[in-house]
Amino acid sequence: MTKEKFQLEFVINASPSMLYNYISNPSGLSEWFADNVNSRGEKYTFIWDEDEESAFLIKSKQDTYVRFQWEDDEDTKFFFELNIVEDDLTGDVSLMITDFAEPDETEKAQLLWESQIDDLKQILGS
């Protein structure tokens, strides 16, 4: 399976600590990323309508980033990461998304991220 890496950056009008709560814990993620999110330890279960997928939280740093790996991608180099970036000069906060998709699915994956981040911005009042 060949996947290509892509990155997207979104300016978010929220503090890093507030944003981190929405990208790192099940209750925050269920408000914008999936219909429902459950976790048991490092394993997160994401539910959309009738679909359910599991991912492992493989890395995180408080108020900075989370990195998940889908269960289907276990033992591969593929992951998705949400990285909070704060500009030292302006104080602007951005969310940098890193993800992987099949070459013919990249555009669709990017559009999905854009839609989800729009939902997140609406919740944050950003």
Tokens of 79: 């992951």
Please tell me the distance from the alpha carbon of residue 104 to that of residue 96, in angstroms, as a whole number: 22
* Domains located in the chain, CATH noted: 4-124 (3.30.530.20)
Q: What is the pLDDT of residue 8?
A: 98
Encoded tokens for 53: 């997928």
Tens of pLDDT along 42-66?
Answer: 999 999 998 999 999 999 999 999 9
Q: Residue 1: its pLDDT value, please?
A: 66
What number of other Cβ atoms are within 10 A of residue 69's Cβ?
21
Question: What residues form DSSP beta bridges with 46?
Answer: 37, 53
Strand 80-86 versus strand 36-40 pairing type: unpaired
Q: What is the pLDDT of residues 5-22, one digit of tens each?
A: 999 999 999 999 999 999
pTM, rounded to two decimals: 0.92
